[in-house]
Amino acid sequence: MLKNQLIKLCFLLLCFNSSVACSAVTTQSSTQANTQSTSQSKGTVLITGANRGLGLALSRHFIADGYKVIGTARKPHKATDLKAAGAQVVQLDVTDDESIAAMAKTLQGVAIDIVVNNAGYVNDYTRGIESFKKSTREEYLRTYNINTVGPVLVAKALYPNLLLSKASVKKLVNTSSQGGIVDRKGTHAIYAYDTSKTALNKLTNELAKDLKADNITVISLAPGWNKTRTGGEGARLEPEVSMAQAKKVIESLTIENTGTFVTYSGRSVKW
Ligand SMILES: NC(=O)c1ccc[n+]([C@@H]2O[C@H](COP(=O)([O-])OP(=O)(O)OC[C@H]3O[C@@H](n4cnc5c(N)ncnc54)[C@H](OP(=O)(O)O)[C@@H]3O)[C@@H](O)[C@H]2O)c1
| pLDDT tens readout for residues 71-114 | 999 999 999 999 999 999 999 999 999 999 999 999 999 999 99
Whose CA is closest to atom 2 on ligand 1? 231
Helix residue spans in 41-167 (DSSP H): 53-64, 80-85, 97-106, 128-134, 137-144, 150-164
Q: How far is the CA of 48 from the centre of ligand 1 (A)?
A: 9
Q: Is 156's C-beta closer than 6 angstroms to any atom of ligand 1?
A: no
**Is 21 among the domain residues?**
no
pLDDT tops 80 at residue 39:
no
- Of 148, 228, 250, 265, the residue with max ligand 1 atoms within 8 A of its CB, to mutate for a pocket test, comes to 228
Q: Which residues contact 84 (CB under 8 A, 6 or more apart)?
A: none
DSSP category for residue 147: I
**Is 177 among the domain residues?**
yes
Whose CA is closest to atom 42 on ligand 1? 49
Q: What does the radius of gyration of the chain's CA atoms come to, in whole angstroms?
A: 23
Q: Give per-residue pLDDT as tens, 165-198.
A: 999 999 999 999 999 999 999 999 999 999 999 9
**CB of 103 closer than 8 Å to CB of 92:** yes
**What per-residue confidence (pLDDT) applies to 123?**
84
Q: Give per-residue pLDDT as tens, 134-162.
A: 999 999 999 999 999 999 999 999 999 99
**What per-residue confidence (pLDDT) applies to 22?**
30
Q: How far is the CA of 125 from the centre of ligand 1 (A)?
A: 14
pLDDT tops 60 at residue 55:
yes
**Is 74 among the domain residues?**
yes
15 against 117, higher pLDDT: 117
- State the number of CA atoms in the 13 A half-sphere of 8 facing the CB: 5
Q: How far is the CA of 8 from the centre of ligand 1 (A)?
A: 68
**Is 6 among the domain residues?**
no
Q: Which ligand 1 atom is the nearest neighbour of the CA of 52?
A: 43
**Is 269 among the domain residues?**
no
The domain that contains 69 carries what CATH number? 3.40.50.720
**Is 56 among the domain residues?**
yes
**What per-residue confidence (pLDDT) applies to 260?**
98
Q: Give per-residue pLDDT as tens, 9-29.
A: 433 333 333 333 333 322 233
Domain extent, residue 61, equals 37-263
Q: Which ligand 1 atom is the nearest neighbour of the CA of 93?
A: 32
Helix residue spans in 149-260 (DSSP H): 150-164, 191-211, 239-252
**What per-residue confidence (pLDDT) applies to 269?**
96
Give which of 152, 173, 158 is closest to 257, Cα–Cα: 173
**Is 131 among the domain residues?**
yes
**What per-residue confidence (pLDDT) applies to 23?**
32
Number of domains in the chain: 1
- State the number of CA atoms in the 13 A half-sphere of 211 facing the CB: 28
**Is 25 among the domain residues?**
no
Tell me the whole-structure pTM to 2 decimals.
0.88
